[in-house]
Structure 1
Amino acid sequence: MCVHEGQSRSRPCGSVMGWMTSLFLFALSWVVLFPAVSPAAPLDSVSLQLRWFHQFQFAGYYTAKSKGFYRDVGLDVTIIERDLKVNPVHAVQQGNAQFGVTNSEILLHRMRGEPVVVMAAILQHSPLVLLTTKKDRISSPHDLMGKRVLMSTKTMDVELLGMLQKEHVPLGRLDIVDRFSSRNDYLDPSFDAVAAYITNQPYYLEEKGIAYGVLYPASYGVDFYGDCLFTTEDQVQNHPDRVRAFHEASLRGWQYAMAHPDEIIDLIMADYAPRKTKAHLEYEAAAIRKLMLPDLVSIGHMNPGRWAYIGEVFRSLGLTSTPLDMGSFLYSPNPVGDHAALKKFLYILGVVALVLMLGAISLGVFNRKLQIQVQQRTEALTLKALELERANQRLTELDRVKSALLSSVSHEIRTPMTAVLGFVKLIGKEFKRTFAPLAHGNVSLERKRDRISKNLNVISVEGERLTRLISDVLDLSKIESGSVHWQDQDIDMAEVAYNSVAVVQELFAQNPGTNLFMDVQDNLPRVHADPDRIIQVLINLLANAVKFTASGEVRLTLASDGAGHIEIVVSDTGIGIAQEDAEDIFNMFHQVRRGDTVRFGEQGAGLGLAICKEIVEHYGGSIFVHSALGQGSRFTVRLPAVVPKTEN
């Protein structure tokens, strides 16, 4: 709608906008129809060498062939399935195919002097991972030492080699079976970890209901591209139109495949006889979408800086000593010097500039009114921002008052509660001393004695629980208000661990079916912190562990991670924690609803772990949990170690 001065109502800008639209469509039609129509030329026959067997991993190329995208650009494409005896890079260089698909290993071939050119990175993140069994509780590359691992020590699994090197895990410390994996290997319990594609092999385990873990190289700083389309320098230099056409049609095929995955899965099942079921292909398609990110990143996008980083990883692994020279390694469909493309671009640019100039003349008529509207809205937004700032200041003051009130009220309640608990204990002792002898032999009095004793015990237990809750609230309010007096010093973590275990020994005595084990590394570095606060963290974790472990073991482990941190792990074989609870377990007042209060006691207030998190993060550390229902829990605390002073 356009508003005109002197008028109290609005009217459509149909004449102006309709004229501009007609002009734009006319210009666009001119650009499209201008080139002369040439007779159809014979199709250029080329081949594409796949990296693996027929599956959704190559859906874009099947789509481009089936939908006629290759034919539209003058190509007749043959898609060749992988032969395990032939490397796709060698097949393309030897002329058995003009194009191929491989992983980021293509850069290593280039750094070794081979004239290969990468055209597109289909997967923004490599699908290569290590699948681990749950029985060994493998949660990091360090846990692989001494384990039986099926993977390749050659460049096909280079991401895994990079991950192990980054984490300082020598290959000699692993029991490696160096070969290709088969489907049965993932079901073989003799392997602790097996190299896999996250888009493929986990399906076998989920189909059998087998629990597994995943070690992602990207989580340890080794984030490579996956499934790269490539060719040779000879093809780029001597057949530029062929390479450009194949690149354009392939990316078009991938765009269609990711927009219509069900249709393409049916195509693969009908035309390529895959070794997978339809359900397996659907699983693969969903996993590939997560690695491709087609809704966020243009399909085929490549970052030169990321390729440079991958090259440095290859050099650090000792796979090559040649410095990286991008040169013509990265393919550009419109390189400098392509005058035909430049002329076409300038031609389109001139048409667009004409349309924009005419549009600017028309829009200038309305510019003044738009300026007034912008000014009015700016003033309104400024007032709204001032209101929000005042509201934020009020909320900040209310939060400060809340913390102070909690601290004051908690203190005022805890003092009389301590007295109440003291008097309950005195009453209990006096009752046993005076009433118990009188009730001896009198059934009625004995029943009354037992009932009174039980009631006194309930008062005592609930009073102590309330006292603990008050202490937690008081601690949390002090931390939030910044009024905690931290008694920091360089502390011996082994001594802290032993003191913490001594405090919780009574809890383990009350639960004879649960055993406590402690592993403390010798000569641990010290930690600069308040020892009482660190003991508070350990007691909370140990108490939770024994509380929810009816029988089995609780293990406390302290060790240096070799990277300047002390790692404290409290693990148990208890009932575990559901994934949805594990994500929020460190939030204030979050309670894990286990349902079995008879067996595991009443629910807490949901403050203990929140306090642990505040204390650990105050010292620049971190705390997290790995758990699953029925498989126990593993809480890990990492604290920065004190760096020893170097003597001159």
Structure 2
Amino acid sequence: MRFLLAPLILFVFLLKPSYAIKKDTLKLQLKWRHQFQFAGYYAALIKGYYKEEGLNVELIPGGPNISPVQEILKGNADIGVFDPNVVLRNTKEKPLVVLSTIMQSSPYVIISLKRKNILKPSDLIGKTILADQDQGWNIFKAVLLKEGIKSDLIDVIPRKNDSEEIAEGKADAVVTYITTQPQRLQKLGLSVNMIRPVEYGVDFYGDVIFTTKSFAYENPERTDAFIRATLKGWEYAFEHEDELIDYILTLPGVKNYGNNRAFLKIEAQQVKKLVMPDLVQIGHMNIGRWQYMLQIYQQLGIADKKVSLKDFIYNSEDERLNKWLKPIVYAAIAAFIIIVVIVVINWQLRKLVKTKTAELSAEIENRKSAELSAKRNEEKLKLAIKSANIGIWDWDVINKKAFISRDWCEMLGIDYQPSLNKANLLDFVHPDDKIIALKSFKEFKRGNKKRQIFQVRLKLKNGEVLHVMISFTANNYTDKLRNKVSGIVINIDKIRRKEFQLIKVSEELMRSNNELKKFAYITSHNLRAPIVNIEALFGMLNVDTLNPEDLVIVNHIKASIDKLSGVLNDLIEIVSHEIKSEEKCSTNVNIEEVCVRVINSLESKLVKAHAKVKLELDVNTLFYPEKYLESAVFCLLSNAINYKSNHLNLEIHITSQLINNDVVLKVKDNGLGIDLKKNAGKMFGLYQRFHQHTEGRGIGLFILKSHVESLGGSIEVESEPNKGATFILRFPQPESLEM
């Protein structure tokens, strides 16, 4: 095939003007640090493509505060890699030209942390974004223009480093590259959202190769040679991805920025999606698309409306000179194609026969292997079914034919046969459970479900009853009447009998618990009346007539009566705080409203304590009884006030988050704190107090824990002495609840 191309190439070559390629070093300014984004240039360098074209190329890495355009205009580099913003830098005084486009789609995205909930451009209003006006932000201005959003509604601040800055809370989002930054954040354990311009009808080019007009046309042969070698390098890079990754890992600074093989592998995949080598020829440019981008910039007021694309797209000298040669070249190409087609068809036929023969041999081997594997799996399945005591059955309802596995035939007292005639499997179901089985079959016949599962009892040959779970589905999905079914039967007798025992024990425990509660309540109230009478009688006692010795005894008696009265009051309060079933009804509660209500009720105490309360609620809806949420917040704020530090103004921080479908409510203060090393086991106990100089009876946290746990939640505490305490309440939420 090569000998056919030689005359044509020689013919075209002789017509091209000849330029001497200078041997001076050609400096290529990259847009960023060394990474797979520039794999094509590395490939052209290390595989000798530049050298084959007579070029001595030096690659200069980019970085923060390095503008490829400025480096070219200052003369520090000859050719640069930039983005479509290069059209904005093209002036009459310093004209630039685009040599080639590498990325057919823009790599710029806006990345934000998942918890920020920034999903679309309108979510950016009022937010702070990290962006370099020189790189990427103008593309998103075009998105905002399309969405009818004013860009001055968004606070844009300079980006100094990579996207990790948003993880440090410096901004809500960042404009950056999709090829590297999402995985960099995910490596830090952060989940992100992305906004891509293409999703909103703005599809600009990505990386482009540019230079000054004077450099490009000073020696077109040199410029053409650079473009050819570069595009060839990109083709090689995508075909030898791993080789290029190995090379990139040897470049200075690559590993220092946390890049490794896995990272570069993902970047390579993202770069390939943007270059689209399988769909578009690498380096392809369209003047119409450049015109579209310029018009967007002009609408935004970024580009002067008088700016045009004249001479902006590089057009090599041989392209202009060869316009008159096109008819001749086309005729030669047509003749050449006919010859090539004949040769290729012949070669493809021979290759196809060889390939089909190899595929047929491989198919035969694969089938043999699959049959052997299937046989082994069948034996394993039989063993598993037998070990698990699972029965298999088929039933043709209309023809009354059935199949039941051998072990279960023995249990049911019938002779095993491959096909049982005149069989009605419902006959084996306990009479009291037949209605369950009939209902399930009727629902299945109506097509309500593809698969039915139910539990019944079977009658065994020895007269005993066996609890089983039965599951079945259509034997043939083309059978619309569902007259043929297949299923399994599982022995759950031991499980069911254990369940019955547990239910019985649970009922006994509930009865005993209720009786104990009633006894405690009645006893506390019955004892309350005599104590009240004794207190009244003591009030009538004239202690002034008593001698000192009797007065001491009377005071001891009075102290004992007061203590007994306090114990009875606490017991009555604890029993009366038991949540009744009708009060356990949960609703969607507005957390902020509840917190504000409690803060208002404690306003005088908070003012006296010079307290500041901060609410930071990522989740504001909680499915929980409102009365008990308010009680919990009241208890924790009261504790924070009671146990405030004498040296600091009280600060209380209330937060909420959704973690694994649990609403987690945290109440943090800067008070006295608790030594959990000594008191962790006593934290929520009855009559437990850890600071004796403050008010309190030591029952609030005990009641709070009882309420939270009885409603399915949990409470824990984190604290150190003199460093405050953080109470963490977890409330499980229904799956369907929208936060």
TM-score, with length taken from structure 1: 0.50
Give the aligned partner of residue 166 of structure 1. Answer: 146
Tell me the distance in 2 between the aligned counterparts of 1:631 and 1:210. 25
Tell me the distance in 1 between the aligned counterparts of 2:340 and 2:21. 41
| Structure number, greater radius of gyration | 2
CA RMSD of aligned residues (A): 4.7
Give the aligned partner of residue 301 of structure 1. Answer: 284
Tell me the distance in 1 between the aligned counterparts of 2:314 and 2:734. 50
Give the aligned partner of residue 97 of structure 1. Answer: 77
| Counterpart pick for 1:311 among 294, 298, 309 | 294
Q: CA deviation digits over 1:101-148, x for unaligned, max 9? A: 001101111267640101111111111111112213221111122223
| Counterpart pick for 2:270 among 283, 287, 298 | 287
Give the aligned partner of residue 67 of structure 1. Answer: 47
1:269 aligns with 2:272: no
Letter in 1 for 2:277: P
| Counterpart pick for 2:233 among 242, 253, 263 | 253
Secondary structure of the structure 2 residue equivalent to 1:302: coil
- Where does the alignment leave 5 or more consecutive residues of structure 1 unmatched? 1-23, 364-451, 471-508, 518-548, 554-571, 577-629, 636-648
Tell me the distance in 2 between the aligned counterparts of 1:185 and 1:30. 59
Give the aligned partner of residue 206 of structure 1. Answer: 186
Give the aligned partner of residue 515 of structure 1. Answer: 588
Alpha-carbon distance, 1:245 to partner = 0.6
Change (3 A) 1:252 1:319: same
Secondary structure of the structure 2 residue equivalent to 1:313: helix
Give the aligned partner of residue 109 of structure 1. Answer: 89
Tell me the distance in 2 between the aligned counterparts of 1:159 and 1:359. 45
Tell me the distance in 2 between the aligned counterparts of 1:220 and 1:631. 35
Alpha-carbon distance, 1:32 to partner = 5.4
Q: CA deviation digits over 1:222-241, x for unaligned, max 9? A: 21111100111102221111
Alpha-carbon distance, 1:319 to partner = 1.0
| Partners of 1:112 and 1:320 within 8 A in 2 | no
Tell me the distance in 2 between the aligned counterparts of 1:292 and 1:239. 28
Give the aligned partner of residue 88 of structure 1. Answer: 68
Give the aligned partner of residue 485 of structure 1. Answer: none
| Partners of 2:21 and 2:221 within 8 A in 1 | no
Alpha-carbon distance, 1:305 to partner = 1.4
Give the aligned partner of residue 195 of structure 1. Answer: 175
1:54 aligns with 2:34: yes
Change (3 A) 1:346 1:206: same
- Where does the alignment leave 5 or more consecutive residues of structure 2 unmatched? 344-431, 450-581, 591-620, 626-657, 663-732
| Counterpart pick for 1:330 among 299, 313, 321 | 313
Tell me the distance in 1 between the aligned counterparts of 2:115 and 2:34. 33
Q: State percent identity of aligned pairs.
A: 33
Secondary structure of the structure 2 residue equivalent to 1:337: helix
| Counterpart pick for 2:132 among 139, 143, 152 | 152
| Counterpart pick for 2:57 among 62, 71, 77 | 77
Alpha-carbon distance, 1:266 to partner = 0.6
Give the aligned partner of residue 392 of structure 1. Answer: none
| Partners of 1:111 and 1:323 within 8 A in 2 | no
Alpha-carbon distance, 1:632 to partner = 7.7
Q: CA deviation digits over 1:270-292, x for unaligned, max 9? A: 24442322222111111111111
Change (3 A) 1:511 1:350: farther
1:131 aligns with 2:114: no
Paired residue total: 381
Tell me the distance in 1 between the aligned counterparts of 2:288 and 2:276. 19
Tell me the distance in 2 between the aligned counterparts of 1:118 and 1:194. 28
Which has the higher relative contact order, 1 or 2, with Cα contacts under 8 A spaced 6 or more apart? 1
Letter in 2 for 1:321: D
Secondary structure of the structure 1 residue equivalent to 2:249: helix
Alpha-carbon distance, 1:187 to partner = 2.1
Give the aligned partner of residue 162 of structure 2. Answer: 182
Change (3 A) 1:167 1:264: same
Alpha-carbon distance, 1:188 to partner = 2.0
Q: CA deviation digits over 1:464-511, x for unaligned, max 9? A: 9x99x89xxxxxxxxxxxxxxxxxxxxxxxxxxxxxxxxxxxxxx999
Equivalences for residues 31-50 of structure 1 within 5 A: 31=8, 43-50=23-30
Secondary structure of the structure 1 residue equivalent to 2:281: coil
Letter in 1 for 2:226: F
Change (3 A) 1:130 1:633: farther
Tell me the distance in 1 between the aligned counterparts of 2:339 and 2:248. 50
Tell me the distance in 2 between the aligned counterparts of 1:310 and 1:78. 31
TM-score, with length taken from structure 2: 0.45
| Partners of 1:186 and 1:205 within 8 A in 2 | no
| Partners of 1:551 and 1:574 within 8 A in 2 | no
Secondary structure of the structure 2 residue equivalent to 1:132: strand
Change (3 A) 1:130 1:351: closer
